[in-house]
Amino acid sequence: MDYDLLLKNIGKHISLLPEEEEKVLSKLTERRFRKGEFINSEGEINRYTNFVVKGSARTFYIDNNGHEHIIQLAIREWWIGDFTSFISQQPGMLYTMALEDLEMLSLTYENLQTLYREVPKLERFFRILIQKAYASFQLRTLQNLSFDAEQRYISFRNAYPEMDQQISQKHIASYLGMSAEFLSKIKKRIVERERRLKKEL
């Protein structure tokens, strides 16, 4: 499994000494899941924080009517899981599932706490991750309140072009709060508009 990918991800925000990298690597667990397999489920305590090495996954909530609402999507080099359950070590309300065959490097809650003591600068890395996740969640909430469906999709496509290519239309639509059929109409409208603009040029 590609351990260097994780070290490069950490290196975007903090610098680790070789011996600190070794400590981090020694605490990692390799985990593999098949497409459609659950990584964590509602009612379970999420024991791991997960870094995607290969594949993609989604974290979602199922309401009382049985409708699925996607909270997070993740592809290569993304972190995913029920973060509220992981941080609190209490039973969660979310499911995380592999969208395709998935390879992850994971840290248990206990191992992460040990690393915080042995490699204190790692706390800064995860603080930055949490801050970015919160800022992204806040922006998404504001867009859901003020953007129409097409604006939400365009914003998503511009922010996450790789995810737009890799994740199915069905799951992107759920993440954006619309039906797959409606997203299909939006994409066709955008393509037609872009085609007209090219002709005019």
Please give the pLDDT value at position 48: 97
Please give the pLDDT value at position 141.
92
Note the pLDDT of residue 58.
97
- pTM, entire model: 0.91
Q: How far apart are CA 56 and CA 185, in angstroms?
A: 25
Do 5 and 54 touch, CB atoms closer than 8 A? no
**Res. 199 pLDDT band, cuts 50 70 90:** confident
The residue length of the chain stands at 201
Is residue 46 within 8 A of residue 32, CB to CB? The reply is no
pLDDT greater than 70 at residue 132: yes
CA geometry: angle 26, 31, 36, nearest 5 deg: 165
Answer whether 103's CB lies under 8 Å from 30's CB: yes
How far is it, in rounded angstroms, from Cα 119 to Cα 63? 40
3-state secondary structure of 71: strand
Q: What is the pLDDT of residue 198?
A: 77
The secondary structure of residue 25, as a DSSP letter, is H
pLDDT by residue (tens digit) across 35-61? 999 999 999 999 999 999 999 999 999
Choose which CATH entry (3.40.50.720, 3.10.20.600, 3.40.50.1820, 2.60.120.10) describes domain 3-121: 2.60.120.10
Per-residue pLDDT band for 176 (boundaries 50, 70, 90) equals very high
pLDDT value at residue 1: 83
From CA 167, how far away is CA 85, in angstroms rounded?
25
- Give the pLDDT band of residue 11 (cuts 50, 70, 90): very high
CA 26 to CA 15: how far, in whole Å? 18
**Confidence at 194, pLDDT banded by 50, 70, 90:** confident
Mean pLDDT in residue range 155-178: 95
Q: At 197, give phi and psi (nearest 5°).
A: -65, -40
* In the chain, where the domains are located: 3-121
Max alpha carbon distance in the chain (Å)?
Answer: 61
